[in-house]
Chain A
Amino acid sequence: MGMDPKQDVLRLPAEKLYARELEALKEVDKEERPAGWQLSPKAVLTFIVGGQAGDTAITPKYIGHKRLVEMAIATLLTDRALLLIGEPGTAKSWLSENLTAAIHGDSSKVIQGTAGTSEEHVRYSWNYALLLAQGPSEQALIRSPIFRAMESGGIARFEEISRCASEVQDALISILSEKTIAIPELNREVAAERGFSIIATANTRDRGVNEMSAALKRRFNIIVLPAPSSLETEIDIVRRRVSEISASYRLRASQPDEETVRKVVTIFRELRSGVTLDGKEKVKAPTGVISTAEAISLLTGSMALAGSFGDGRITDEDVAAGLQGAIVKDEEKDRVAWKEYLENVMKKRGASWRSLYGACSEING
C-alpha cells in the first residue's frame, strides 16, 4: 500500500512537508553517512537548526538550543535510544518527528503511548482470522512499528512513553539491550539492522503517568527540553509555526502581526513563570500548563475565527476568546488567576494594551 501519494491531507509528515529541503541537503551533503542514515550527522543538524544547502534555505525547525540538538544527534550516532523529556509544548514530538524524517526519511513508525497500549503494540500481534486458519505464519504476523524499524534499520518513535503501564515499558528493555525481538511461534528472531533506534518522548507535568523504571532509564540517553529561554526566541518559534500551520490549513486570514504575537507570548510567559517579565510583580499562575504549543494553537485558532467569521484580520476579540480558553481550564481557580492578571498587570500596561484588556475583561464578565 505504501504512503498516500496525495498532498491534500490534513497534516503532512515532516519528510513530506520539508521534502524539498531534504533533497537539497542530500545533494550537497558530502560528509560520510553512518549506516542506515540518509544524511550525514552535520546535515541533520543543519536540517533541524536551519542554515543553507546550496541555494536552498533550510528553515530552522527547533530554535534556541542548538547544543541540545547536537546531543540528540550524537546519541543516535552511538546507536543509543533517545528519550526527550519536557513540559507539555516544549516541542518534544516535533523534534522527534523531524529528527526521524531527516535521518531515516520516514517518521510514520509511531507508537502512541496510552494506558491501553499493550505489549503486542510494542512487539508484534496476530491477525487472528489467519492465525486460526493457517496457524502461526509470516502472513498472520502483524509487525509493530518498532518491529518494522528493526527490519529496515530505521527509527521508531514512541510518544508519551510514561503513559504506558510499567510492564509495557519493560518490554522495551530487552528490545533496547538485545536489539532483537524473538517470535517463538515461528521459531525465529528478528535482529535489528544497523541504523535502528528509538526516539521516545515523555511528559514531566502529566498526571496519571507511570514512573519509568531505572532499568529502562539506563537504556536511554535522556535529554530534557526546556521551555524557550527568552521572549524573542519564543516569539520567533510562535511566528514560524503559525505561518507554517496556517499555510497548510489554508486559513483565509492574514498572519497575526508582530505586536499581537508579542502580547500573547508575553502573557503566556508571565503566567507560566508566575512573575512579570521585568521581575517586579508576582502573578498567580493558573493550574494548567501554559505552553508554547498552546500559544501557537491559540493564534491559529484566532486566524480561523477571523477568516471564517471576520474580515480576515485578527481582532483583539478573537485573541481574547482564545486566551480565555487557553488559560481558564479549571473554572474556579483559573478564572481568579486570569482576572487578577487582567486587573493587576494588563490594565496598567498602557494604551497599546487597552483594547485587548477591554476585550478580555468583557468575556470574563
Chain B
Amino acid sequence: MAESVRRMLGDQWVSGAREPHRFGVRHLSPAGSYHLLALLEEVQPTAVLIEGPSDAGGLAGQLVSRGVVPPVALLAYTEQLPVRTLLYPFADYSPEYQALRWAHRNGRHAEFIDLPTEASLAIVERKREAYGEIERKREQERKQERKREHGNEDANEDERERKRPDLYARIAELSGEPDYEAYWERHFEHSLEPGSYRAAIARFSEEMRAMTEEEELRAAPQESAYNEIRESYMRRKIRDTIAAGHLPERIVVLTGAHHTPALTPERPAMTDEELALLPRVPTRMTLMPYSYYKLSSHSGYGAGNAAPAYFELLWQCMLEGDLDRLPALYLSSVASRMREQGTWRSTASVIEGVRLAEALASLHDGARPTWKDLRDAATILFGHGEFAVVAEALARTDIGTAIGSLPEGVSQTPVQDDLNRELKRLKLEKYKTLVAAELDLDLRENRRVQSEESAFLDLNRSVLLHRLAVLGIRFARKQHARQADATWAERWVLQWSPEAEIETVESTLKGETVELAAAYVLHERLHACADIAEAAKIIRLAGECGLPQVAGDAVSALQRLAVDAGNFEQIAETVRELSVQLQYGSVRRIDTEPLLPIMRQLFLRGCLMLIEASGCNDDAAAGMVSAIHAMNAVAQEHYSEVDEPLWLSKLKELAERDDRNPKLSGYAFSIVLERNEAGEEECAREVARRLSPGIPADLGAGWFEGLSLRNRYALLSRDYLWRHLDAYIQSLEAEPFKRSLVFLRRAFGTFEPREKAAIAELLGDIWGTGADTTGEALQRPLNEEEKRSLDELNDFDFGDL
C-alpha cells in the first residue's frame, strides 16, 4: 500500500499537477534569505532540498550545530595529486545556511542535492583538460579581473557572468545604473514585498537563461554539458525525495537562480545507468572557518561578494524590519572608522551623507540607497571628493575583519589534530593565544634531563616552527638571534590568529600531518627548482624542518644541477649555503656527510671560473665582489676540506691580470695582502704598475677602489702603499688628475672619518709636514677659491665614463 502511494505521488509530480516550490537565489544574498524564510514559514515543508554537494550530508548537520559562527566554508578536495578543490563558503546571510538552520530548528528533513564532490571534481578536472593550456591561462587572467567587479556565488555563476560581461554591463546601462551590482541590489536586495522577489528573480533568470543558453552551448559546450549533468542529477534527487514520501507541495528546492527554470518535471532526471557512467575521483571534505576578507575575493577562491560586512549589516537591518536605518548605520560606521584613524568627521557630515545617498537613490527611482550610492556619498562628504581619503575606512566597513569559528570537535582536519598534538607534546599550547609572546630556543642537547624527549625539546620545537613557516601558517616568526652566528640559538615570536587556523586547514590539502605537508611543499619546490642556489636553500630548509628524506632528495637534485652550473655568483652562493649547513649539521643532528663532496666539487669549479667571470663591467662587479667574499669565507672556514691553495693561486692570478675588471683585481689583491701572501716588495711593484702614468686614470683608480673595499686596517698599516699612491698622484698631468679624482673620491667616500684622519696622518708623515698640520689642512672647510675650482670640475667632460 505504502509503495503504491509513493509511486502515485511520484507520478503526480511527473504529471506536473503538484510541483515542489522552487526558490532561486543568488548565493550570498540577504534578500534571498529573507524571502526564503518567509516561504519556509508559509509552506512548512517536510523536506528542504539545497544546492550543495550531496555527499556532504554529515557536514551539513555539523554546520548548524551549536557554536558554529559563520563565515564558514565547506571544502572538498581530491585525495590524490594534483589536489583539486571545491569551496562552498557560507555567510550568516547565505540562503543555504539559513535553510539548513530553519530545517534544524523545526526538525525537518534537509539535504544537499547537487552532484557529489567525487563526481563534480572529476568532471571539473576533465573540463579543465578539455579547455587546454592556453585557454586556461587566459581564463585565469580574466577571472582575476572580473573577480573584483563581481563578488559572486559559486564558480559556475562566476563563469557565466564572466562570459557575458557585455550582457551584464548592458543590463546596468539600460537600467541607468552605474554597474550591475547596483542594478542587482536596487532591484532584488531591497525588495521586501512578499512574493515579488521570488517572481521577479524567477522571471529574470528564465529570460537570462533563454538569452544565453544557445550561446553557451556554442561557445563553451563543456560548460553547458556540466550544467546539464548537474541539473539532471538534481532532478533525480527531487524525484527521489518525492518517492521517499514527501508531498511535492511540502518540498522546497533552493538553488542558484540560474538552475530553477531547469528543475521542472518535464525535463528528464538522471537514470541509474547515467549515474554509473559519471567519472569519479576519491575526495574528502571538511568544514573550515572562513573570513569576510577571503569572502570579499581579495584573496584565495573566486566565490564571494565584494562587501560581506555591508551585506551583513543589510541582513541585520532586514531581520529587525528596519531597512531605513541602514544608510545612517553604514555612514556613521565609516565616519567612526575615520575618526579612529585620526581624521575627524562630524555627525553633521553623516546626516548630509545620508541625504545625498537618498537623493542619489531617488534619481534612480530607488526607495533606498545602494552600496554604491553610500560609497559615493562617503567619498563626497567624508573624502571631500577624493576617494583615496576614505578608501581605507570604506574597506574596513565593507569587508570587516569578521572571521568564523567552529567549536572544538567539529570536523577537525587531520592536520589540525596533528598540530594540536604536536603543540601539546612540545609544551607550546600556552602560546596558542592572540597575544604575541617571545620564545628563545637553545638547540643543543640539554644534558641535565633524563629523557631524550626533553633533552631535545627545543630542537624539536624549532623543527615544528620551521615546518609551519614552510607551510605558510603564520603562527611563528623567526627573529634574528641575539648572539651573532650562534648556530644553536633561535628566537621566535609566537602569535595565534584565526587566519592561522584557516591556513592550517588549507594545509590539509598538502598532507595528513604537519610533517607530511611540509615535506610535500618542499618536494614541490624541489620539483620546480632549476638552479643550484635554490636547491641548496631547500637542503637548508629540509634540515631545519627535520626532513632528512627531503634533504637527501634535494642533495641529489643539487648534484644533478651542479653538473651544469656555470654561473660563478650562483656557485659562490651555493657553496656558502652548504658551508652553513655543514656547520649547523651537528646541532641539528643531520647527516651532512653527502654535502661535503658537492661543496668540494662546486668550490673547485668556482676557483676555476674565477678568472673568466671577473672579466665583467663595473655594474656586474658589485655582485662579483660579494661572491668572491663568500668563496673566500668558505675557503677559510673549510681550509682542510677544500682546495684552499688553488683558491689563493687563482686570487693571485686575478690580482696580477690586467685584462680583468680592475676593481676585482684590486679586491683580489687586497685579500692576498690580508693573508700576507704578498710582501712589501710585491706590493710596491703592484701599486707602481697599476698606478703608473701610462695606465688610464679610471683603470688605476678603479683598481684602488677594489683594493679599499676590504679590510682597511690592513691597508692603513702598510705605509709603503700610501707612499706609492702619493707618488702616483703627484706624477699625473692636470687632465688625467681630474679623471682619477672622481674615482679616488668614490673610493675614499666610504671611509669613516676616523680612517680618513689616519690617512691624513700617514700622508703627513710622508710629506714631512707632521700629522697634525696635515690633518688640519685636509679637514678644514674649503675656502671660496677652492670651492670654485672644485665647481669647475663639475663641468669637466668625462666623455666615455
A interface with B by C-beta (< 8 Å) = 41-42, 45, 66-67, 70-71, 73-75, 77-78, 80, 83, 85, 217-218, 221-224
Contact = CB atoms under 8 A, between A and B. Distances in A.
Given A222-B385, A223-B385, A67 B376 contact: yes
Nearest to A84: B385
Given A218-B349, A221-B352, A75 B359 contact: yes
Contacts of A83: 385
B360 interface: yes
B486 interface: no
Interface in B342-379: 346, 348-349, 352, 355-356, 359-360, 362-363, 376
B178 interface: yes
| Top 9 A-B residue pairs of the complex, sorted by shortest distance between their CB atoms | A74-B359, A224-B385, A222-B385, A77-B359, A78-B355, A222-B384, A74-B360, A221-B380, A67-B178
Given A71-B376, A218-B346, A224 B386 contact: yes
A70 B360 CA distance: 7
B381 interface: yes
A78 B380 CA distance: 13
Could you tell me the dominant secondary structure of chain A's interface residues?
helix
Contacts of B349: 218
A83 B380 CA distance: 10
13 contacts: A42-B363, A67-B178, A70-B360, A70-B363, A74-B363, A75-B359, A77-B363, A78-B352, A78-B355, A80-B352, A221-B356, A221-B381, A224-B385
B348 A218 contact: yes
Interface in B681-702: none
B356 A71 contact: yes
Contacts of A222: 380, 384-385
Contacts of B356: 71, 74-75, 78, 80, 221
Given A221-B352, A222-B385, A45 B380 contact: no
B348 A71 contact: no
Contacts of B355: 78, 80
Contacts of A71: 356, 360, 376, 380
Contacts of B381: 221
B183 to A, nearest CB: 14
Contacts of B362: 41, 74, 77
A75 B348 contact: no
Interface of B: 178, 346, 348-349, 352, 355-356, 359-360, 362-363, 376, 380-381, 384-386
A274 B360 CA distance: 36
A83 B355 CA distance: 17
A298 B481 CA distance: 67
B389 to A, nearest CB: 11
B384 A217 contact: yes
Could you tell me the dominant secondary structure of chain B's interface residues?
helix
Contacts of A85: 385
A71 B385 CA distance: 11
A7 B214 CA distance: 58
A77 B360 CA distance: 9
Contacts of A70: 360, 363
With most chain A CB atoms within 10 A of its CB, the pick from B362, B376, B385 is B385
Given A78-B359, A218-B349, 13 more contacts: A41-B363, A42-B363, A67-B178, A73-B363, A78-B356, A80-B352, A80-B355, A218-B346, A221-B352, A221-B356, A221-B381, A222-B380, A224-B385
A45 B363 contact: yes
Contacts of B376: 67, 71
A362 to B, nearest CB: 32
A105 B349 CA distance: 30
Contacts of B360: 70-71, 74
Nearest to A78: B355
Contact of B380 (A41, A73, A75, A77): A75
Nearest to B380: A221
B380 A223 contact: yes
With most chain A CB atoms within 10 A of its CB, the pick from B178, B348, B356, B359 is B359
Contacts of B384: 217, 222
A71 B346 CA distance: 21
Contacts of B359: 41, 73-75, 77-78
Contacts of A41: 359, 362-363
A86 to B, nearest CB: 9
A42 B381 CA distance: 22
A217 B380 CA distance: 11
Contacts of A218: 346, 348-349
Nearest to B173: A66
Contacts of A67: 178, 376
A281 B638 CA distance: 51
Contacts of A74: 356, 359-360, 362-363
B360 to A, nearest CB: 4
Contacts of A42: 363
A324 B359 CA distance: 46
A85 B380 CA distance: 11
A42 B356 CA distance: 15
A224 B387 CA distance: 10
A41 to B, nearest CB: 6
A41 B361 CA distance: 12
A67 to B, nearest CB: 5
Contacts of B385: 83, 85, 222-224
A120 B382 CA distance: 31
Contacts of B346: 218
Contacts of A217: 384
Nearest to A225: B385
Nearest to A79: B355
A163 to B, nearest CB: 19
With most chain B CB atoms within 10 A of its CB, the pick from A73, A74, A80 is A74
A335 B349 CA distance: 47
Contacts of A73: 359, 363
